[in-house]
């Protein structure tokens, strides 16, 4: 699986958009970009994933650059409950392999 690079920490004001970047310059053509988050002392929670098109769901939007070497997770209106560690992971989606390679992630602190 390809490696990802994320900033160790970010701050965001409550109610503002949080934009979390991720670099994955060695991503392969069949690898998807996944985002998970982990709120303190809980299990990681799936947020969103995509291959090359931008994706949006009820939690967030995922913007993937045209060359697929980087992506941005956008939380449109951050709340205090969005304070968590956010992990960007690239992997193939087929085969339902349960193996995820987690990096150190980005600790997002949402401030009032």
Partner 1 sequence: KAGVTQTPRYLIKTRGQQVTLSCSPISGHRSVSWYQQTPGQGLQFLFEYFSETQRNKGNFPGRFSGRQFSNSRSEMNVSTLELGDSALYLCASSSPDRNTGELFFGEGSRLTVL
CB closer to partner 1 out of 32 and 63 = 32
CB of 49 to partner 1, least distance (A): 7
CB closer to partner 1 out of 12 and 34 = 34
CB of 98 to partner 1, least distance (A): 3
In this structure, is the dihedral angle defined by the CA atoms of residues 9, 26, 1 and 57, taken in order, positive or negative? Answer: positive
CB of 79 to partner 1, least distance (A): 21
CB closer to partner 1 out of 81 and 99 = 99
> Degrees (nearest 5) of the Cα angle 20, 33, 5?
50
List residues near partner 1 by CB under 8 A. 32, 34, 38, 41-46, 49, 87, 91-94, 96-105
């Amino acid at each position: 699986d390809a490696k990802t690079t994320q900033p160790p920490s970010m701050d965001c004001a409550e109610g503002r958009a949080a934009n979390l970047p991720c670099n994955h310059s060695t991503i392969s053509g069949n690898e998807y970009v996944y985002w998970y988050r982990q709120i303190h002392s809980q299990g990681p929670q799936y947020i969103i994933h995509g291959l090359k098109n931008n994706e949006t769901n009820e939690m967030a939007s995922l913007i993937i650059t045209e060359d697929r070497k980087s992506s941005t997770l956008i939380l449109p209106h951050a709340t205090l409950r969005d304070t968590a560690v956010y992990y960007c992971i690239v992997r193939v989606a087929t085969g339902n392999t349960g193996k995820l390679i987690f990096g150190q992630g980005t600790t997002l602190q949402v401030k009032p």
